[in-house]
Chains A and B, each alone.
Chain A
Amino acid sequence: DIQMTQSPSSLSASVGDRVTITCRASQSINNFLNWYQQKPGKAPKLLIYAASSLQSGVPSRFSGSGSGTDFTLTISSLQPEDFATYYCQQSYSTPPLTFGGGTKVEIK
């Protein structure tokens, strides 16, 4: 199985901050990497697919980059509605599809 490791597991930030979350795969996954946002009590929402493609309807302050084993999700200017938990997911090798452990973005 391909293991996905996210860092940090949590972070505190202020509105307007630039936030970067990292996801590392245990082996190369090319660009088969997706990012999701999950708010408490809600289902995850797709933000980024194919490492850097913005899902329709997602604000442009979200961006993704990376290839191989190292990936980042960046929020250019954190907004109040962005406080949530973020997950990466690899789809290069299945089964199984695997998710990272999550990064919780909290208000400073």
Chain B
Amino acid sequence: QVQLQESGPGLMKPSETLSLTCTVSGGSISSYYWSWIRQPPGKGLEWIGYIYYSGSTSYNPSLKSRVTVSLDPSKNQLSLRLRSVTAADTAVYYCARGRDSGWFDFDYWGQGTLVTVSS
């Protein structure tokens, strides 16, 4: 059974850099797109970006200037870096597996980690 587990700081200050890690267990990272998706409290879902197992990336244009997604196959981990955070970046952050099936659906998700940005 594939499992994803996010980890990172719960509380941050404005202008800091958010770093999150997602550890994948029970399956290979090959042949999948690995995404980060966030959800502000009480609001909808926003796709942040993905990295394909080959290393190619794609980012939401609204966040592209501040985001880096990376993959460490040796550890079965993906990472998110979001620079210069503000209160608007307060959200639950999910990592999710995107299938390389043509329809880019997310079939496995982590449980999510809440990141609060506050001075």
Contacts and interface: CB of A to CB of B under 8 A. Distances in A.
A44 B96 CA distance: 10
B44 A94 contact: no
A97 B64 CA distance: 13
A32 B104 contact: yes
A43 B94 contact: yes
A101 interface: yes
A48 B114 CA distance: 27
A100 B104 contact: no
> Would you call the interface of chain A mostly helix, strand, loop, or mixed?
loop
Contact of A34 (B94, B105, B111): B105
A35 B57 CA distance: 24
Interface in A42-64: 42-46, 49-50, 55
Nearest to A35: B105
Given A43-B112, A44-B45, A101-B44, A95 B60 contact: yes
Contacts, number: 67
B107 A43 contact: no
Contacts of B112: 43
Contacts of B28: none
Interface in B65-96: 94, 96
A89 interface: yes
A91 B103 CA distance: 6
A44 B106 contact: yes
B109 A34 contact: no
A96 interface: yes
Given A43-B109, A43-B112, A44-B109, A99 B103 contact: no
Closest 9 pairs between A and B when the two form their complex, measured CB to CB: A91-B104, A43-B109, A49-B105, A96-B60, A34-B105, A97-B47, A99-B45, A50-B103, A95-B58
